Amino acid sequence: MHPRRTARESILGALYAHALTGEEKAKVLLDIFERNSFDEETKLYISDLYNNIVENKNWAEELISDNLDNWKLERVATLDQLIMRIAINEIYFNEDIPPKVSISEAIEIAKIYSTEDSSGFVNGVLDSIYKNKLDAD
């Protein structure tokens, strides 16, 4: 498995732990690093992306909400929200990863960790967000 996929899955675990336990973000991140062996480049990627996702939570949730058709954010599964927040932060803040890769990775992670319908749902919302970003740029 590609190191970035492992990193994204680790970030998903950290975000989920942070959401459920309310632990400080630094403690959750430290726990992830203690339980896994990452090279320095991957640790830096995880730290930067995780911290950015936590800091931009409200912005990302608003972006998701704005791209839901006939849904409210509260109805979207927590894992799906977290998966989309990872991809959104990559799309907007990580220029070395093509947005299509971020979306594809989110779809694949949703297939593994979420419901049967989640991959299609995540794809639709992220595609809409990405198209709106292209129109704005």
Q: What is the CATH number of the domain that holds 55?
A: 1.10.940.10
d(CA 63, CA 85): 9
Split into its structural domains, the chain has a count of 1
Residue range 94-101: average pLDDT?
94
pLDDT over 80 (residue 1): no
Q: Please, what is the average pLDDT of the chain?
A: 94
Q: Which domain holds residue 108?
A: 3-136
pLDDT tier for residue 86 given thresholds of 50, 70 and 90: very high
Task: Give 83's pLDDT tier (boundaries 50, 70, 90).
Answer: very high
Residue 31: band (very low, low, confident or very high) from pLDDT cuts 50, 70, 90: very high
Residue 2 — very low, low, confident or very high, per pLDDT cuts 50/70/90? Answer: confident
